[in-house]
Amino acid sequence: MPCYDFDCLFEQRYLNAHYIFHSVFFVDENQGWVVGSKTFDVTHWGQVILHTADGGQTWEIQYEHSPAIDDLGGGLFSVHRLADVQFTDTQNGWAVGSSETFYDNGWYHEGAIVRTTDGGVSWEILDRGLHGDHGREFFAGEMIDGQNGWALASRYSPGQNVHLLHTTDGGTSGEWVDTGVEGALGIGFAYVQGDVEFTDEQHGWAAGGLGTIVHTSDGGETWEKQELLCGWPSCHVRLFSVAMIDNQTGWIGGEQLYHTTNGGAEWIMQDMELPGDIRAMQFLDAQHGWVAGDRGMLMRTTDGGTSWQAVETREGVILNGLYFVNNQRGWVVGEYGVILGIENR
């Protein structure tokens, strides 16, 4: 029986309640990866990466890692995780998340950035020696190509400014970039809250926290703060996701959906009713877009955001990540090990 207008939700898979998935990425309709966290016992959470080679019919664990229980310091509930994954081709991919804390003649932190060059057969930790005495969590990563990329850090003590990590060698090394814009991207222990998006090597945006948005038009040499227009002098609203079509047109999602047509000089709140926060968002072109979020929210637009239609997921959990390879085929992931696929043929 054919599916029209996404009336059919193609497949629902529940791995089990011991998983929380935050991000999903497919390089084609068959090859894809999901990242998040997995419980090893009640308060012992670790990083996990799953892979499918058959369009989501079957999934296998490619990578899992958790700190030793002795190093937990009272538990890492929902903290040691991977928050974002991206591939530039079938072999080369990166995932970012929270660093592991461990003691070896002093306290160290690593494991917040992992990379594969063989399609996930093996994953290498890249951030050894990067963090110094302070643990780090990255909310999002953006590889512009195989060498140049950015990762958005949740904090960088002792400074209060938004910081990103910049690499020009595929993540082998990185340089901390202080945007000069004060703002906290993380608002709570259990939230993965923030996103970074570059349309080319020069133009990039990062958003998160309670209304914090920064923008660069010179490859990260300088950054400026951008403001939301919500009818108040300042808009302290939760922000989770950024989706840019080009250097001028894009969206930011969170408590509400905001749209710009002038590179972020104005972020205008869209008139739409939401059942909760938007956690993930993707636009395939200027007309076709998707958002996912709280209470199983999944919505799509085919007219550039003028109108939105709800797609029934039959879920009540938070959906944290989505990825569409084209207008007909996509995947959504979230809490309780939920992986949803959508197909319209």
User: pLDDT tens digits, residue range 251-298?
Assistant: 999 999 999 999 999 999 998 889 999 999 999 999 999 999 999 999
Q: Which has the higher per-residue pLDDT, 48 or 343?
A: 48
Residue 87 · residue 55 · CB < 8 Å: no
Q: Which residues contact 43 (CB under 8 A, 6 or more apart)?
A: 72, 75, 76, 77
Q: Report d(CA 143, CA 85) in Å as an integer.
A: 10
Mean pLDDT of the chain: 88
Residue 263 · residue 215 · CB < 8 Å: yes
Which one of 3.40.50.300, 2.130.10.10, 3.40.50.720, 2.40.37.10 gives the CATH number of domain 9-343? 2.130.10.10
Output the pLDDT for position 188. Answer: 64
Q: What is the DSSP letter of 189?
A: T
Output the pLDDT for position 2. Answer: 44
Position 126 confidence tier, pLDDT thresholds 50, 70, 90: very high
Residue 13 · residue 55 · CB < 8 Å: no
Output the pLDDT for position 296. Answer: 93
Residue 298 · residue 275 · CB < 8 Å: no
Q: What is the DSSP letter of 99?
A: P
Q: Report d(CA 280, CA 338) in Å as an integer.
A: 15
Residue 231 · residue 257 · CB < 8 Å: no
Residue 74 · residue 61 · CB < 8 Å: no
Q: Which residues of 81-107 are buried (b: 16+ CB within 10 A; e: fewer)?
A: bbbbbbbbeeebbbbbbbbbbeeeeee
CB atoms within 10 A of CB 274: 19
Output the pLDDT for position 194. Answer: 92
Residue 99 · residue 67 · CB < 8 Å: no
Output the pLDDT for position 183. Answer: 81
Answer whether the bond into residue 158 is a cis peptide, omega within 30°. yes
Q: Report d(CA 99, CA 112) in Å as an integer.
A: 4
Angle 305-145-183 from CA coordinates, rounded to 5°: 60
Nearest to 93 by CA among 125, 64, 116: 116
Q: Report d(CA 271, CA 245) in Å as an integer.
A: 20
Residue 171 · residue 227 · CB < 8 Å: no
Only one residue has tokens 């958790």, namely: 66
pLDDT digits 0-9 by tens, 79-119 = 789 999 999 999 999 999 988 877 666 667 788 999 999 99
Residue 187 · residue 210 · CB < 8 Å: yes
pLDDT digits 0-9 by tens, 173-184 = 999 999 999 887
Q: What is the pTM of this model?
A: 0.92
Only one residue has tokens 């959470």, namely: 45
Q: Report d(CA 328, CA 343) in Å as an integer.
A: 5
**Range 188-193 average pLDDT:** 71
Q: Which has the higher per-residue pLDDT, 45 or 335?
A: 335
Residue 342 · residue 306 · CB < 8 Å: no
Residue 32 · residue 56 · CB < 8 Å: yes
Burial of 37 (0-12, 13-18, 19+ CB in 10 A): buried
Output the pLDDT for position 154. Answer: 84
pLDDT digits 0-9 by tens, 214-233 = 999 999 999 999 999 987 77
Q: What is the DSSP letter of 335?
A: B
Residue 34 · residue 339 · CB < 8 Å: yes
